[in-house]
């Protein structure tokens, strides 16, 4: 609680400046390179922080081919549907496990926690997905990761920390468990719900490993899989117009990166005020 010294404030300012520079430089470099022309790429062997001849040719090449646009729509759909399903299932499980009178709740909770410690492995998960008829379908991107044990524990801790008098008062008024959950618990849980929704959304948006395992048809690939195939493996985008003057490959790669990052950057500021409060839920008791 002591007042910080000038040296301390100076040290914090220097460290914060270095951290911001370490984060901002590659981000600005990716954005600048995506707008760079061929002459800018030749002049600067690495990332182009400030292109002298900015052009949107890379974005026209990316969006004009149709591959990235199609993958973007798939990622948006999978993220929205997957996040909604995951949040609903997590809410139901967390509320049930937070009630002490539910039979077998401790066994179910321990089973969920075991998934955080022991991974079944790639082959068993692949065989399970195939036997359930989910192979080569978009459902394979959602069902294997429907519930996160970490998010379940966070939400359960929040529900358990709510005053028991709220539940008792609602029961006295004749409310059942479903009505208590919808009208009493959920309105008080906006912060933690925003945080776990963000966690789920980022997981679905960035997931490429499940797509690589379970999707054989490239028409069903999400944006993360297209990003990995094109940027890391250097394969060209299909569907570009014949005879069209394409942008430099490095600029096109950075344009795909920008398109993949922008949606999360647009959503995060709206959830930022809930983030700290939601993450610390259950950290302090009493």
What pLDDT is attached to residue 280?
Answer: 52
C-alpha–C-alpha distance, residues 70 and 26, integer Å: 27
Nearest CA among 74, 214, 211 for reference residue 136: 214
Residues 281 and 154 sit within 8 Å (Cβ to Cβ)? yes
C-alpha–C-alpha distance, residues 27 and 20, integer Å: 11
C-alpha–C-alpha distance, residues 231 and 74, integer Å: 19
Tokens representing 80 are: 């929205």
What pLDDT is attached to residue 80?
Answer: 93
| E-only strand ranges, the chain | none
User: Phi first, then psi: what are they for 198, rounded to 5°?
Assistant: -65, -45
SS3 label, residue 176:
coil
What pLDDT is attached to residue 68?
Answer: 80
* CATH architecture for residues 58-279: Orthogonal Bundle (1.10)
Q: Consecutive sets of 10 residues in the chain, 286 residues long: mean pLDDT of each? A: 79 92 87 84 78 83 78 90 94 88 82 82 88 90 89 88 84 85 86 87 87 87 82 56 55 83 77 59 48
For the chain, how far is it from start to end, CA to CA, in angstroms?
22
Domain ranges of the chain: 58-279
């Amino acid at each position: 609680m002591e007042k910080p010294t000038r040296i301390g404030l100076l040290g914090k300012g220097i460290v914060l400046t270095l951290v911001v520079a370490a984060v901002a430089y590659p981000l600005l470099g990716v954005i600048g390179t995506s707008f760079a022309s061929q002459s800018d790429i030749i002049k600067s062997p690495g990332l182009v922080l400030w292109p002298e001849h900015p052009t949107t040719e890379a974005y026209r090449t990316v969006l004009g081919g149709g591959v990235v646009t199609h993958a973007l729509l798939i990622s948006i759909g999978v993220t929205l549907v997957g996040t909604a399903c995951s949040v609903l299932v997590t809410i139901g499980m967390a509320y049930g496990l937070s009630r002490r009178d539910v039979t077998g709740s401790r066994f179910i909770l321990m089973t969920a926690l075991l998934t955080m410690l022991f991974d079944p492995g790639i082959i068993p998960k692949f065989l399970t997905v195939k036997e359930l008829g989910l192979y080569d379908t978009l459902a394979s991107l959602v069902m294997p990761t429907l519930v996160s044990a970490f998010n379940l524990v966070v939400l359960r801790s929040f529900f358990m920390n709510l005053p028991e008098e709220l539940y008792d008062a609602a029961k006295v008024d004749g409310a059942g468990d479903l009505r208590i959950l919808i009208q009493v618990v959920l309105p008080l849980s906006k912060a933690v719900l925003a945080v776990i929704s963000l966690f789920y959304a980022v997981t679905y948006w960035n997931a490429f490993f499940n797509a690589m395992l379970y999707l054989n048809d490239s028409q069903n690939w999400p944006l993360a899989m297209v990003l990995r195939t094109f940027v890391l493996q250097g394969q060209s985008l299909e569907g570009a117009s014949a005879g069209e003057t394409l942008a430099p490959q490095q600029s096109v790669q950075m344009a795909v990166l920008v398109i993949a990052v922008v949606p999360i950057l647009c959503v995060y500021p709206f959830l930022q005020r809930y983030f700290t409060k939601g993450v610390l839920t259950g950290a302090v008791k009493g």
